[in-house]
Each structure stands twice: as C-alpha cells, then as structure tokens.
Amino acid sequence: MDPLDFLAQVESNARTYANTFPRMFTSGKGVKVTDSEGREYIDCLSNAGTLALGHNHPEVKQAIGRYLDSDQLQQALDLGTPAKYDFVQAIFSLLPRELRDHGKIHFCGPTGADAVEAAIKLAKHYSGRANIMAFQGGYHGMTAGALAAMGNLQPKNHLALSGVHFLPYPYAFRCPFGTDGTHTDQLSIDYIHNVLSDPESGVVKPAAMIIEVVQGEGGCIPASVHWLREVRNITREHDIALIVDEVQTGFGRTGRMFAFEHAGITPDILVLSKAIGGGHPMSVIVYHEKYNSWQPGMHTGTFRGNQIAMVAGGATMRIVKRDDLAGKAEEKGRLLVAGLRSVAGRFPFLADIRGRGLMIGVEVAATDSGRRRDPSDGALAKLIKKLCFDRGLILETGGRYGAVLRFLPPLIISDTEIREVLERFEAAVEDAYAIWVAADVIERSPSIAEVI
C-alpha cells in the first residue's frame, strides 16, 4: 500500500494539514520543503509559525549535534542543567525590563496549550476567582481550559466547557458591533468597560483576561496600539491579570521580539511556545513575581525538561537577536503586504490585507461600497490555497468560514523569495478568478465545490 494511503487509512478523522497537502515530504532547508517526487515548495506555513529560522538551520543543527555528542541529559524533568541555565538566560535577555527584573519562569508541557492552562490556573489560584475573559476569534489550544477560551465553535460542539465570558475583538473589517469599522476599537473598549463596571452586567469579576495581540487562527487580525493600551489600563484598574498569548507571535514574528511591545505594555503573564523551542516541543509562562503563589507540584509535566528543545531554542533566540530578524520581519512584511495589495487591486474578492511583520492575512470576501459585511468566501479561499499548492506554495487558511489566506513564512525569507511567493500567489489567484467567474460564484453556485 502507498505510504500516504496507509496513513490516510489509519489516522484519525481529526487530522488537518495532511488532508490539505497530500504529499510525502522528505526534506526541508530554509524556506523550502521537498516531497518524495522531488518537487519543491515555498513553505509559508512554517509549522504553524514554529520554524522562525526555517527548516534545518545549520547553526541550530550544529548546536543540537554538539549537545547529543556530549552525553548530557536529554530529558531532565525540572532539574537544573547547563542547557536549562543557558535557555533561561537567553529568554530573560530578550524580555522587557519589567518582566526581566521581576519575572518568574515556569516550564510547562510540550505544547502551547499546556502553557495556556498553566497561565489560567495560576491566575485563578492567585486571585481565588473562578472565571476568565477571552475574545471572540481567539485561539489558545485544544486542551479543556484552552479550548474553553477559543472563539471557534466547531471543536467545542458537544463539550461541556464553561467559565469563560467572551468579549468582542476589535475586528474592524467585520465589525462585531455592525458598523463600518471606523469606531470598532472604541466600541470594544467601551463594551469591556461596561461589562466590568455595570453591577447588573451578569458577569462576575474574572481572574484573568487572555488576549492575542494578533489573532492567528482567527484570521491574522492585529489589535491596534491604542486598544491594547486601553485593555492594559482596564485590567490594572480592575485588578485582573492580563495574560498575553504569544505562542504564535513571539520571537520576532510581528516585527518586535514580542508583539505586545508594539504598544509598550507589559502583561502580567506571558505565554510562549512554538519558536521558543527552535523547532522542538517546548512551552513556558513568564509572569510577574507577585503571582508566584503556587506550591511545589501544582503544575508539572514529564517533558517540561526537554533539553534538546532548550538547546535548539537557545540557539534560535540568539540568532534572532544577533541578526535582528524582528526588524527584518517588519521590513519584509511591508514588502509582502505591498505585493499582496498590488495583486488585490486586480481581483475584487481579495477584500482585506492585514497583519504585522511576517504574520499576514488576506481575507477572501465579496465587498461593496457600504459596510462590507457580505459573507466571507471560504470555498474560494480553499480553491486559491489548492492552486497555490499546485504551483509550489504552501499557505493555510483560517478565520471566519476559513476565508483568510495566512502567510507565516520563516523570518529568514529573502526579498527574492518573497517576490517568488507573490508570483506564485498571483498566478494561483488568476486561475481561481477564471474558475470563480465560470462557476458564477457571485451567485454562490455549488459548482465550485466540484473544482476543489
């Protein structure tokens, strides 16, 4: 049996990426991966944002190789090791002063979801309160507590999840208050103020508020500097722990080392994973020392001492800092956005280009001259994604109705490779446009489903 057929037969129905990109991938270097037939693809998914330095960065590989040859521990629970010492020093050297000088770090399990669970548990333990606040469109992981804070309803159906009050995220393109987006930020701020101040709001005071500075799976939606500062002021005013989930945005992705630095704020609890492990499983929370209320054993995990991830992550952090990859992500993000807007100028269904740094979303939707609230077109986005893949470009979709094409290339992508991405994307969009017109998608003809 073909290996891909075998995997499709025995793997869970819940698998995702393997259904979208049905190839056997055998190697990767930098921003490109190669399948078993020798075909090369530009990877603008980078393991859902994990691979800040792309595939098989030589310096990271060398650091891992040297470590493996040294016979040091590969797993160490929470014991002290040289790798752990170097890793913690690397993280603290990158933190803003308030967290660096007053921060505590806790090593969690391998996934970002476990770090989110830890952050929520810590805030609840410290405050003695039972509930939290989260935002519509948010994504924080697939374990029970993290899933409860997720905006996407599909994974939550039929599950008894509670303890979260959802707030409208400032999504101006699709304003949750029904406006044209001009005043979305202020409406969101006023709404949060009201919920927390109104004695008849029905919402009890939460232990924490958890946010993404740029919603990732929610559709690459960046929060403004003004909104973030106001949220920080509100949480301080009401003595609510502000948890910032930087699992996907951390370590240069948005043009700053941490996305919250765009607004000059500091969270109470910072959640980190993905890039922090240099391509290997790792997650931590860093929090202000005043929240250090846990006793030994109150949040543990067998693989929280993954030494290989610490070595790879330490090397990755040093390279990101040394090579100013955060600054370069901002520059290259502007180049990519400019190119995408040029393409969007030719095609009416590329309705919004947004994001920060190298975390960019293109929303596929019909538009009009008014409020632009026509349904987003997930089927057309899925078609564009497929045609991109056929042309050797890996993109993923997200957002409402799966209608946002997401660009998350490695931070090391070159200007030449960005131009190549734009060429392949434009060609795929041109092909999709021809199919879109032929299938009369404007009238929502079901024939497009036969093409995908």
- The stretches in the chain having pLDDT less than 70 are 367-375, 439-452
pTM confidence score: 0.94
Q: Give CATH 3.90.1150.10 domain extents, the chain.
A: 3-56+324-451
Identify the CATH class of 3-56+324-451: alpha beta
* 8 vs 431: CA distance, rounded Å: 29
* 150 vs 142: CA distance, rounded Å: 8
Q: What is the pLDDT of residue 161?
A: 77
The answer to whether 273 and 112 are in contact (CB under 8 A) is yes
The answer to whether 288 and 123 are in contact (CB under 8 A) is no
Q: How many residues does the chain have?
A: 452
The hierarchical CATH code for the domain 72-322 is 3.40.640.10
Q: Which residues pair with 167 in a beta bridge?
A: 135
Closest CA to 217 of 49, 46, 422: 49
* 174 vs 375: CA distance, rounded Å: 10
Q: What is the pLDDT of residue 443?
A: 54
Most distant CA atoms of the chain, gap in Å: 65
* 149 vs 321: CA distance, rounded Å: 32
Going by C-beta distance under 8 Å and a sequence separation of 6 or more, which residues neighbour residue 331?
A: none
* 370 vs 111: CA distance, rounded Å: 42
The answer to whether 253 and 52 are in contact (CB under 8 A) is yes
Q: Give CATH 3.40.640.10 domain extents, the chain.
A: 72-322
Q: What is the pLDDT of residue 371?
A: 45
* 244 vs 265: CA distance, rounded Å: 10
